Amino acid sequence: MKIRIQKPIKYLWLLGFLGFQGFKYFKTGEPLALFWFSYFSFFAYYFIGKMADEMQDERYFENSQRAKLKTAKIPLITLFTIGFFSGFSFVTKELIILICALGWAGTLISYAYLFWHYDQD
């Protein structure tokens, strides 16, 4: 009889629910509370956990590379948006923090999803 131990990485995605703490900003008005939204990036481990038992082969690395190339556009767009609009008066530090946190989470989640999606094909 073979005993299988679950890897903790499969359940790491549950930390993504800490991202909802970011809504505390609307109650307290504290800008640092917006950084909690970056915890949404842990939801990427949902897709990574599905592939944790796979053997890493040539196709695995090729899918990872394809996902990285598609996902690289998100941080570029995020940084351009922050840099271009930061000089305008209507852009507040809270908006910049929010764009950073959501850009970070969006990048990691989209990478993990695309990696998983390419693996299914």
Tens digit of each residue's pLDDT (9 = 90 or more) over 17-50: 999 999 999 999 999 999 999 999 999 988 888 7
Taking the C-alpha atoms of residue 47 and residue 99, their distance in angstroms, rounded to an integer, is 23
Q: What is the pLDDT of residue 6?
A: 56
Q: Answer yes or no: is 112 within a domain.
A: yes
Does the residue 100 lie in any domain?
yes
Burial class of residue 22 (count of CB atoms within 10 Å of its CB; 0-12, 13-18, 19+): buried
Specify the pTM.
0.79
Alpha carbon 80 to its chain centroid, in Å, reads 19
CA pair distance 54, 82, nearest whole angstrom: 38
Over residues 49-76, the pLDDT tens digits come to 877 667 778 888 999 999 999 999 999 9
| pLDDT score, position 10 | 74
Give the per-residue pLDDT at 5: 47
Number of domains in the chain: 1
In a domain, 43, yes or no: yes
How high is the mean pLDDT of the chain? Answer: 88
Q: What is the pLDDT of residue 17?
A: 96
